[in-house]
Structure 1
Amino acid sequence: MGKKPKAKRPPAKGARKGFRMKSAPRRGRDDALPSREEILKFLRESDGTAGKREIARAFNIKGDARVALKRLLSEMAEEGSLSGSRKDLREAGKLPPVTVLEVTGRDNDGDLIAHPAVWSADDGEAPSILVLTHRARGEERDAAIGVGDRILARITRLEEPDVEGHRYEAEAIKVLPRDKRRMLGIYRARSGGGGTIEPVDRRELRAWQVRTGNDGNAKDGDLVRFDLSARNRQSVSEARVLESLGNPHDQRKISLIAVHAHGIPDDFPAPVVAESEALEPYAFNSDDGRTDLRAIPLLTIDPIDARDHDDAVFAEPDTDPRNSGGFIVIVAIADVAHYVRSGSRLDKEAQLRGNSVYFPDRVVPMLPERISNNLCSLREGEERPCLAVRMIFNAAGEKRRHAFMRAVMRSPAKLSYQEAQAAIDGNVSEKCAPLMNHALRPLWQAYAALSRARDVRQPLDLDLPERKILLDKEGRVDRVVVPERLDAHRLIEEFMIQANVAAAETLEQSKTPLVYRTHDEPSKEKLKALRDFLETLDFKLPASTGLRPEAFNKILARAKTLPVPELVNEVILRSQAQAEYTPGNIGHFGLNLAKYAHFTSPIRRYADLIVHRALIRALKLGAGGLEDQEALRLTDTAKEISDAERRAMAAERETTDRLIAAHLADRLSATFEGRIAGVTRSGLFVKLKETGADGFIPVSTLGQDFYTYIEEAHALSGSRTGETYQLGDAVTVRLVEAIPTAGALRFEMLTPGKKGSFAHLKGAHKFRRRPGRRR
């Protein structure tokens, strides 16, 4: 028999995959320890993770000398020349060869810039890293890198900083999935160092531990942005503070919670601002091909507190005898494409933002103020470039034809909805008096015709009043109101809808790529749930699979005879699909339109800017049209701006919740009138009549009974007492808890449930709850 082969020694840890051991002086057991400079040089040249064990192996340090090495490494860490953990050491202020980066913006040349996703304040200012602009490899090889992305990257340290001051270049290995939300919380400091973070997200039920040194210099009670670091020996994830955002109880800063939580860009990079400031105001030139509309009284009619004005309207009777009783309507929209060209820094930033975001205390605009509030705002008495559509309607309000033009306009007056409506109602202001006969009355006459066509078309007619938060001079909630819905609002809305339809029709006819605003019909599952609910009210929805809004409108009209018509409006709203932007057309179910595209708000929506460029391209209206490369990306662009819209809606809703929770925080134990706005297996959501605030009542607090969740009826029913709480019920509640940073309210039910049995429904005994206790 031959000799038994020797067992192979396992590879040294330092030689594992992804780590290449650099040569280092080999030392005997009695040799002196390596110098600080030798250790730093070794770490600097290592291609993978290097810790105490790798250093000891590289320098042949064994036995008792390992204790001395540990002491030396600790001293270097205390001196600030080393950072990292025992298993992942690096020179302080230096990046490991492979790390996670967050792409945060662009430099003056438009190149992507990133910063480390995790960086200790002890290491000084986080380095700025130039991201090489080819695509990531691996599973995400087809995903282009953009601002806001997180990437796993290979880092190269430059011998000398480049002209922009970057000391590192990064080659993306993989684009990591985007976090839907950034992690925000309230930092609670401990005496002796470190602390905990209480999350502001009401859905997160735990607190996170923060070690000493990972607090990012946050103060007790600060709102912080944090990330989770590696788990400790007890397999518990720990938090590292990335940024302190200040006092979360200052109502003037509450909207910043949503801005940071959703990663909404709120500051424009200096190159973007510089590009906007360099733009020249438009000066009319009769040779530039624009139609001169300066003599036409195009009025801007907007909210009383509007800062920018991107649409203006005009109407007059059509004198064509073949169109007796008809009207000519012109809708003029700010020509943003004249200033914001495809591929510019302004364009890239606008696409990243997707839309403006509106909070009670601030606006996070899509475009810098130089454009949104100045160059593109259709200011009273000032010449402005515009894209306009001239539409001809017959006496029944049906559009007969339309034509787009690139034009120049000068609005004679800026009016609020209230001022214009008051003038039509007989209370004519000094400003409106000269506009009545040739501007305001023709607008209302044309609207009367268009409203007749709207009634025939029958869009979905939901009645869901929107509340508005009014702030005092200190930026705190003063009161919550429901603004009156005026014909002036409806007039502008209908004119804008018709202009949007005309844009979609023109682009579709010319076979020019565009982004539609689409709204799918309700899904079969949602329709089934809606039918089950309506049966509990003895209402019937037709069984046809091709339902149109008219069928829902009949239900809504019948619901007006009920004590709680809001209940039916709310449930029908919940049955609807969500509108979105798509390059393919499926129509707009809610508006009952076959073709629809957003054209009327390019100052605040990127989708509208795309449509403007598409029209300029299709109709050969000059510079600033849709580029070929831009057209090829419309599928991705449509998804990005749809996501941005949902992000904005969530941020606006959460800010409203937080502001009202802060407003009510000093009214604990007060009683309020409200309605049940949601029913789940775990409890009831109640919307207060006074403020529209939503709060929760846990099912465990409802009373001494077993409560059954009845999905079809949107109800909780007590199996012993028969007391039932149903969506839409009017109730009285007591406020027992308010958490402003989370926008959370908790109520106690004071109204007994109504008597009624839902045992006949097939899902009635599917979910049970233990008897609750009143608190």
Structure 2
Amino acid sequence: MLEEVEGIVQGHRDGHGFVSRDDGAPDIYLPPNEMRAVLHKDRVKVRIVRSDRKGRPEGRVVEITERSKQPIIGRLLQESGVWLVAPEDKRYGQDVLIPKGATSVAKPGQVVVVELIEPPALFGQPVGRIKEVLGEVDDPGMEIEIAVRKYSVPHEFSDACVALARTLPDKVRPQDKLHRIDLTDIPLVTIDGEDARDFDDAVYCEPASKGRGKTALKGWRLLVAIADVSHYVETGNAIDVDAYDRATSVYFPRRVIPMLPEKLSNGLCSLNPEVERLCMVCDMFVTEDGEVDAYQFYPAVMWSHARFTYTEVAAILGNTRGPEASKRKERVQDLLNLHGVYQALLKSRHKRGAVDFETTETQIVCDENGRIEKIVPRTRNTAHRLIEEAMLAANVCSADFIAQNKHQGLFRVHEGPTPEKQETLRNYLKASGIGMSISDKPAPGEFQAIAEATKDRPDAQQIHSMLLRSMSQAIYTPINSGHFGLAFDAYTHFTSPIRRYPDLLVHRVIKAILAKSKYQLPTLPTPGEAHAKLARRLEKNLASRVANPETKPKKLNAEGTAWQAAGLHCSANERRADEASRDVEAWLKCKYMREHLGEEYSGVVSSATSFGLFVTLDAMYVEGLVHITELGGEYFRFDEARQELRGERTGIRYAIGTRVRIQVSRVDLDGRKIDFRLVQEGAGSIPRLPPEKGVGRDIKPGRADFAGRSDSDAGAGVAFKGKVRQQRSAAKSSRSSRGVEKVSPSTKKTTKKRR
């Protein structure tokens, strides 16, 4: 009997699809004819009928068990008298027919939200009605309006939440201060970015010692004060329900969708300067070696004595007699004390071997209309690292406090690399001739040692990138198995309850322990199907996380199961927020690059795959694809061990870190894709890795396995240039032309198709 499985349909813009199985096993391929009666995100039961030549399962839909309730966002069009909506998310694959009486007040070309009336059938398109008109496609902020609906990001607070927020006080009342330590005379300060609007944390440090006489232990007293959101957001009330549903604030360029109403996030719970605020304090004694020797938690009332920016603090620490320091004379010594404890904590970081790779983060600078003006690197200075180490210390104390008191709670768990990723990394390190590798049970220090030993090599960026890609993603779970990257036995999130729901839960647990009681999770809404796939995957990974039967966690009881469900929900919403933010940034970058079609730039290969090279531009920090068919007149094969493409005839190699010069050839706004072509010799310099001996060997092409790269994007026949070009041509003809601009390689003139 052929195997039948259930899962969620994941459409593909080229017409086929996949079924993400509930059991977490590899996805099942659905050919285009099987996608005619189903839509992206439908729940189906499929029968595995065969395997393709790569051994991947192919399925046939036997039952549609549940239609997705997700509304479809797209542009209203009228073609030959027929109204239809072309989905913005091309994974839906089919335009939605709109009856004449269901167009609402929408006009042709506008972006609308569609509710399905009739699902697709084998010989009929889906039919829907317009539920909401978002506006014109070029309206400022439209990309954000699309993203929040595309990813089901809650963006409007419930009426009950808004009404409850109105009843909250505007300032700290006398009754709020009861049973709290008065810290208003302690010069706590906040240190954040220039554009920060809410302030979760404040810090203060002074020299201290423990004990007396010659045996006294010298060090620092470090106070980390965190906004006491839990005082105002009571378990199970309307604000709490909305906060749980969101689970995190979502950050877009020029806009934030907060987890809490503005009255709390920017007002009552924000540690604004020179006003009283309620806080939870982690009061630590840190030794000169950076070890937290003692700590205590307590509720307090504080007064922020200054609002610093990272840039300002870095300037003061760099020159205590400079103009910035002269404006803040009364706080300079406090900042020097903070720098002293930071240096001590840094010793501890190095000692335990925590992973600390330097990566380039970027910031999108927009104009008043929300369009990109420029993309600049976001540099991390000493002040960033200072605050980071202080927050890490408080988070570790929080995790230890919960674990020592044997109370249920959410830990932030980061597992080491899987055996498969370990093997891939070992093969790469060996093939690259680095002379170092990782053990069967690698420690974080091994990764850091490789990074340190190779930081001056020409291919350092490539090596560090491979080290990072071997890591797992961190999740929230009640089962503590440590944080691999930070090299902590126990770690949680305590320091950002304004923008992260897990931190709010941690605060409630700590308060319950201090009150010698027990915190009970409320009965909160079940997360929607939008997160079910990830939740099931995370749950499966969690169950198989510990390979050693002796250390495998016991089966969770009812309370533990509830905490696990909360952790999965928060983890899934964190991923959702990241995906929505990336989608908006990708749209903005595509819009930006449409103005630079035909222009040439230098860049560096950020990843090599079986279907081409992803290149990040030096000047703009924008990534695009150089397809394998654009690499020249020879055959290229993908070497999985070295993570590089190499030419069979010349032996030319392209790997991560290879410098290239490209031309912007095509921008697909709807697909969020940018295509480059290499500038050939004579038109620009293309530094490449030199050929190696034995380049004509038949190296089996590997599959792309990088975050954000769809397996289905990989060209199947990288060994045959002609075949690849045929596939690419077919793929181009099957794509929707809306929002696509490209440049002719000979004339460099932009050709604009219907948007």
Q: Give the TM-score, by structure 1 length.
A: 0.73
**3-state SS in 2 of match to 1:406:** strand
Structure 1 177/252 Cα, relative in aligned 2: closer, same or farther at 3 Å?
same
**Structure 2 partner of 1:249:** 138
**Structure 1 partner of 2:286:** 393
Kindly indicate whether residue 166 of structure 2 is the aligned counterpart of residue 277 of structure 1: yes
Q: Is the 8 A contact 2:413 2:475 kept in 1?
A: yes
**3-state SS in 2 of match to 1:687:** strand
Matched to 1:225, the amino acid is V
Deviation at 1:191, TM superposition (A): 4.7
- Whole-Å separation in 2 of the counterparts to 1:737 and 1:666: 11
Kindly indicate whether residue 582 of structure 2 is the aligned counterpart of residue 653 of structure 1: yes
**Structure 1 partner of 2:400:** 505
Deviation at 1:344, TM superposition (A): 0.3
Q: Is the 8 A contact 2:362 2:376 kept in 1?
A: yes
Structure 1 380/732 Cα, relative in aligned 2: closer, same or farther at 3 Å?
same
**Structure 2 partner of 1:120:** none
Q: Is the 8 A contact 1:313 1:330 kept in 2?
A: yes
**Structure 1 partner of 2:204:** 314
Matched to 2:153, the amino acid is I
Structure 1 455/761 Cα, relative in aligned 2: closer, same or farther at 3 Å?
farther
Structure 1 220/471 Cα, relative in aligned 2: closer, same or farther at 3 Å?
same
Kindly indicate whether residue 684 of structure 2 is the aligned counterpart of residue 756 of structure 1: no
Q: Which of the numbers 76, 79, 83 marks the counterpart of 1:194? A: 83
Structure 1 540/189 Cα, relative in aligned 2: closer, same or farther at 3 Å?
farther
Matches within 5 A, 1:75-94: none
- Whole-Å separation in 2 of the counterparts to 1:671 and 1:287: 62
- Whole-Å separation in 2 of the counterparts to 1:150 and 1:710: 37
**3-state SS in 2 of match to 1:259:** helix
**Structure 2 partner of 1:368:** 261
Kindly indicate whether residue 666 of structure 2 is the aligned counterpart of residue 770 of structure 1: no
Kindly indicate whether residue 454 of structure 2 is the aligned counterpart of residue 526 of structure 1: no
Q: Is the 8 A contact 2:459 2:657 kept in 1?
A: yes
- Whole-Å separation in 1 of the counterparts to 2:581 and 2:418: 27
Identity of counterpart residues, as a percentage? 32
Deviation at 1:175, TM superposition (A): 10
- Whole-Å separation in 2 of the counterparts to 1:245 and 1:696: 31
Structure 1 735/186 Cα, relative in aligned 2: closer, same or farther at 3 Å?
farther
**Structure 1 partner of 2:475:** 580
Number of positions where the alignment pairs a residue of Structure 1 with one of Structure 2:
602
Q: Which of the numbers 429, 432, 435 marks the counterpart of 2:328? A: 432
Point out where structure 1 has 5 or more consecutive residues left out of the alignment: 1-148, 152-173
Q: Is the 8 A contact 1:194 1:212 kept in 2?
A: yes
Range moving further from structure 2, 588-597 or 447-456: 447-456
**Structure 1 partner of 2:621:** 692
- Whole-Å separation in 1 of the counterparts to 2:371 and 2:179: 50
Deviation at 1:258, TM superposition (A): 1.6
Deviation at 1:669, TM superposition (A): 0.2
**3-state SS in 2 of match to 1:733:** strand
Q: Which of the numbers 112, 115, 123 marks the counterpart of 1:224? A: 112
- Whole-Å separation in 2 of the counterparts to 1:240 and 1:541: 61
Q: Which of the numbers 715, 727, 747 marks the counterpart of 2:676? A: 747
Matches within 5 A, 1:469-548: 469-548=364-443
- Whole-Å separation in 2 of the counterparts to 1:264 and 1:496: 28
- Whole-Å separation in 2 of the counterparts to 1:343 and 1:765: 53
- Whole-Å separation in 1 of the counterparts to 2:72 and 2:467: 34
- Whole-Å separation in 2 of the counterparts to 1:366 and 1:282: 21
Q: Is the 8 A contact 1:469 1:477 kept in 2?
A: yes
Q: Is the 8 A contact 1:712 1:761 kept in 2?
A: no
Matched to 1:734, the amino acid is Q
Matched to 1:495, the amino acid is A
**Structure 2 partner of 1:566:** 461
Deviation at 1:646, TM superposition (A): 0.3
- Whole-Å separation in 2 of the counterparts to 1:287 and 1:312: 18
CA-to-partner distance for each residue in 1:610-648, whole Å, 9 max, x for gaps? 0000000011189x9555768662111110010000001
Matches within 5 A, 1:12-91: none
Q: Is the 8 A contact 1:420 1:432 kept in 2?
A: no
Deviation at 1:543, TM superposition (A): 4.8
Deviation at 1:685, TM superposition (A): 1.6
**Structure 2 partner of 1:13:** none
**Structure 1 partner of 2:218:** 325
Matches within 5 A, 1:282-301: 282-285=172-175, 288-301=178-191
Matched to 1:768, the amino acid is A
CA-to-partner distance for each residue in 1:491-545, whole Å, 9 max, x for gaps? 1000000000000111111111110000001001011111222223212443522
**3-state SS in 2 of match to 1:318:** strand
Higher RCO by CA contacts (8 Å cutoff, separation 6 or greater): 2
CA-to-partner distance for each residue in 1:365-414, whole Å, 9 max, x for gaps? 00000000001001111111110011001111111110000111011111
**3-state SS in 2 of match to 1:482:** strand
Matches within 5 A, 1:151-162: none
CA-to-partner distance for each residue in 1:41-62, whole Å, 9 max, x for gaps? xxxxxxxxxxxxxxxxxxxxxx
Structure 1 642/528 Cα, relative in aligned 2: closer, same or farther at 3 Å?
same
- Whole-Å separation in 2 of the counterparts to 1:178 and 1:239: 13
**Structure 2 partner of 1:334:** 227
Q: Is the 8 A contact 1:300 1:311 kept in 2?
A: yes
- Whole-Å separation in 2 of the counterparts to 1:276 and 1:768: 62
- Whole-Å separation in 2 of the counterparts to 1:357 and 1:592: 28
Range moving further from structure 2, 714-723 or 302-311: 714-723
Deviation at 1:311, TM superposition (A): 0.3
**3-state SS in 1 of match to 2:361:** coil
**3-state SS in 1 of match to 2:490:** coil
Matched to 1:252, the amino acid is G
Kindly indicate whether residue 314 of structure 2 is the aligned counterpart of residue 421 of structure 1: yes
Q: Which of the numbers 69, 73, 78 marks the counterpart of 1:184? A: 73
Q: Is the 8 A contact 2:75 2:109 kept in 1?
A: yes
**3-state SS in 2 of match to 1:737:** strand
Deviation at 1:754, TM superposition (A): 4.2
Deviation at 1:255, TM superposition (A): 2.1
- Whole-Å separation in 2 of the counterparts to 1:504 and 1:496: 12
Matched to 1:219, the amino acid is K
- Whole-Å separation in 1 of the counterparts to 2:665 and 2:89: 19
Q: Is the 8 A contact 2:648 2:696 kept in 1?
A: no
Matched to 2:332, the amino acid is M
**3-state SS in 1 of match to 2:285:** strand
CA-to-partner distance for each residue in 1:448-487, whole Å, 9 max, x for gaps? 2111111112211211110011122332211111122111
CA-to-partner distance for each residue in 1:225-254, whole Å, 9 max, x for gaps? 345633367344456544332223334332
Q: Give the TM-score, by structure 2 length.
A: 0.75
- Whole-Å separation in 2 of the counterparts to 1:620 and 1:761: 69
- Whole-Å separation in 2 of the counterparts to 1:663 and 1:216: 32
Range moving further from structure 2, 748-757 or 537-546: 748-757
- Whole-Å separation in 2 of the counterparts to 1:207 and 1:562: 51
**3-state SS in 1 of match to 2:596:** coil
Range moving further from structure 2, 453-462 or 299-308: 453-462
Structure 1 729/447 Cα, relative in aligned 2: closer, same or farther at 3 Å?
same
Point out where structure 2 has 5 or more consecutive residues left out of the alignment: 1-40, 44-63, 525-558, 681-685, 703-717, 726-743, 746-755
**Structure 1 partner of 2:610:** 681
Range moving further from structure 2, 695-704 or 375-384: 695-704
Structure 1 718/182 Cα, relative in aligned 2: closer, same or farther at 3 Å?
farther
- Whole-Å separation in 2 of the counterparts to 1:708 and 1:401: 57
Q: Is the 8 A contact 2:96 2:125 kept in 1?
A: no
Range moving further from structure 2, 420-429 or 482-491: 420-429
